[in-house]
Structure 1
């Protein structure tokens, strides 16, 4: 029997409910998987009535009650969204509902009631309005699971990108490029790849500055922090190399068969991934398996 995957609804005022219903219109999704949606059942019923009335919403109180059959969406009903919730707008109610769905999904995963979780898109402004001040899913999941070292990986069309820093203003990035942070990213990446991909991963690390600082002319982060982190990783037996200039590296990734690329800041890594096609967001360093879409709530 297939394992159960927990799927959070995402922000109820965003596109999460719609894309979930549309995904279940593909019978192969239901035939090949046992998926439990976690969120508000009535909201999903209203959504299905508008765009896919043939789909039945089956409300449950535990994963064991699910039918897991075609044309049916099993929903662990949290009953936490009012019909008056304004669509397409950030709100405290939407943030509260998003948080509660993630919290319940993590609880189920930690108890082995679901084998993995996939999270629908959330709105960070809504999350903050509800009093949950996390930069994003990655940090929230780390908090809920008690994980000290978690990190985001984006995977799409055989390209895997890891970010040393994630949702930070550019003027704060430089202070976070430290030997410790770079080394932590390399170790996390190597551990995850060994667990899920290959025994001996090949990891490329890019620099922060143009031309990797050009010997210190354009910045010293490569010399002071990135290279020392690489040397320690190599001494530990990790097949990591670099630092490489980002503009040159991504042209070579496909041909040189790197298993992953570690980037220093958000757009440095996210632009190549999204130009390469739609991707999957993976959180490394958690005691549970978590994936997500690579887009927002629209």
Structure 2
């Protein structure tokens, strides 16, 4: 059987957080202000999530106010300078005002201004989490080109968060549709993946995944691992990374007592995933893992960064410049990301 958070979520989130002050305080970064981040925040907060968390938006308050007026006019902005000043009321959205951008910032295109604001909000949220002023952070999407234009040359959130928290080994997990998928490589060109699949890398990502699964209460995690090549290389005909890197890594970890299976052909594994006993699947590259998890979750998957000293969840989509400013963006993934942060937060475990 695959994992399920349903009974745990019902107990901790729907039953455990009766009083407002017991609900996890989650910093919500605004994301790229030229994308759909401000829109989905305005649509989802605070009403849809106050039952299970206390959301505090980190970013430009004026941007939030403009989007609230358009998409949620019954709610006004309450500016704060620190989390303890937040009110968490149904008709007000608490915003820690920072990362300012001009009112005429061009929508739906990357700029150094939007990239700088996105990174500044993330850094502030991380600082709050490290200082234990918030219980978790949930991030709206950023645009890689924009943050590069601002001089921050990170491939994405995962690497940025690792740098900000001085964490050596991290992993990108997507969870949804009763499936967890972890990527051995993240946002790199496909031509570079082959060289990155080493015994050391496979061991590292499996150790990070195993540790996180034990931390959330799975006593003996079961992890399925895909190969890199079609049919796992077919004995070397289509590549030898399975024999030279993946199998040796799995042998080492099995010898240590870890329950890991594979390498499996990715198409065969995901084709029978509902019959495969595992708590997570580790895949070798971005699309190999992202396509099946997004199909399984139907747009409600949650991004979780493994290995950090803080808890971070995120939406499973990007800035969606193609629809930014049109009012048609769905906030469902943001709600699920906040719900997952609430479930996994230290306060949830204390309430259970």
Q: What TM-score bracket applies, with the shorter chain setting the length?
A: over 0.9
* Structure 1 consecutive aligned stretches of length 4 or more whose deviation exceeds 4 Å: none
User: Offset of 1:151 from its aligned partner?
Assistant: 1.1
Query: CA 1:230/1:122 → structure 2, altered by over 3 Å: closer, same or farther?
Result: same
1:178 to 181, 190, 198: 198
In the alignment, does 2:66 pair up with 1:39? no
1:239 to 259, 262, 281: 259
- Give distance in 1, aligned partners of 2:99 and 2:205: 38
1:21 to 27, 42, 64: 42
- Give distance in 2, aligned partners of 1:235 and 1:218: 28
Q: Normalising to structure 1: TM-score of the pair?
A: 0.98
User: Offset of 1:28 from its aligned partner?
Assistant: 4.1
Higher RCO, 1 vs 2 (CA within 8 Å, ≥6 residues apart)? 2
User: Offset of 1:79 from its aligned partner?
Assistant: 5.1
Deviations 1:223-255 (A, max 9, x none): 010000001111111100100000100122222
Name whichever of 27-36 and 140-149 sits farther off. Answer: 27-36
- Give distance in 2, aligned partners of 1:105 and 1:111: 10
Contact between 1:31 and 1:69, CA under 8 Å: does it hold in 2?
no
Query: CA 1:106/1:12 → structure 2, altered by over 3 Å: closer, same or farther?
Result: same
User: Gaps (5+ residues) in structure 1?
Assistant: none
* 2:27 corresponding residue in structure 1: 6
In the alignment, does 2:281 pair up with 1:284? no
* 1:131 corresponding residue in structure 2: 151
Contact between 2:144 and 2:156, CA under 8 Å: does it hold in 1?
yes
* 2:345 corresponding residue in structure 1: none
1:75 to 95, 120, 138: 95
Q: Normalising to structure 2: TM-score of the pair?
A: 0.83
User: Gaps (5+ residues) in structure 2?
Assistant: 1-21, 321-352
Deviations 1:195-224 (A, max 9, x none): 114111110000001110111111110001
- Give distance in 2, aligned partners of 1:294 and 1:28: 18
Q: CA RMSD in A?
A: 1.0
- Give distance in 1, aligned partners of 2:186 and 2:24: 31
Contact between 2:231 and 2:265, CA under 8 Å: does it hold in 1?
yes
Matches within 5 A, 1:1-298: 1-24=22-45, 27-78=47-98, 80-276=100-296, 277-278=298-299, 279-298=301-320
- Give distance in 1, aligned partners of 2:277 and 2:40: 33
